[in-house]
Amino acid sequence: MIERLLNLVWILLGCAAAWHAWGLGLRGPSGPESGLFPFIASCMIAALGVTLWLKPTSRAAPDWPDSSGAGRAVGVIAGIALMAAGMDYAGFVLSSTVTMLILLRAIDKASWAETLMLTAGSVAAVFFVFGRLLGMPLPRGPWGW
């Protein structure tokens, strides 16, 4: 019963988001408008909700994750919130580096070598693609980087 209700929530959420995205516009004279991607994503959400609705449900009790999963989820949310809050003050590079270090060590339990390589590689790649290639203005922080 709960599964059916949750599936209905996904269907209604997808339909409502698609309706809103349609109002933003899907296509204009210069190409895709701002509503195209949200429309596609919300249609996928609604379609997957319908798929789950049509799937036969099992009578077995659901397997609930252990309590450590909740701690990891809270850690990820807190890390992203701290990154968003600190980006204006410390800049993109520093705030994302600190966030990646904390998340990889605390959440993923990665080794220090793996953590440092993944952090340096991912921050450099994002900065290069979005800051240099695409020319997006990333927050620079007090040091100019």
- Judged by average pLDDT, the poorest of 6-10, 61-65, 104-108 is 61-65
Mean pLDDT of all residues in 118-124: 94
Between CA 142 and CA 86 the distance in angstroms is 12
Predicted local confidence at residue 47, as pLDDT? 97
Closest alpha carbon to 83 in 66, 63, 69, 101: 101
Predicted local confidence at residue 44, as pLDDT? 97
Residue 27 DSSP class: E
Between 57 and 86, the more confident residue is 86
Between CA 124 and CA 122 the distance in angstroms is 5
Between CA 1 and CA 19 the distance in angstroms is 27
Task: Give the CA count within 13 Å in the CB-facing half-sphere of 46.
Answer: 14
Residue 91 contacts by C-beta under 8 Å, 6 or more apart in sequence?
138, 139, 140, 141, 142, 143, 145
Q: Is 105 helix (H, G, I), strand (E, B) or coil?
A: helix
Predicted local confidence at residue 119, as pLDDT? 93
Report which residue type is found at 98. Answer: V
Mean pLDDT of all residues in 78-93: 89
Residue 44 contacts by C-beta under 8 Å, 6 or more apart in sequence?
14
pLDDT at 87 over 80: yes
pLDDT tens readout for residues 40-83: 999 999 999 999 999 887 677 667 777 777 777 888 888 889 89
Task: Give the CA count within 13 Å in the CB-facing half-sphere of 29.
Answer: 0
pLDDT at 39 over 90: yes
| Residue with tokens 């516009």, as numbered in its chain | 25
Between 10 and 103, the more confident residue is 10
C-beta neighbour count of 8 within 10 angstroms: 14
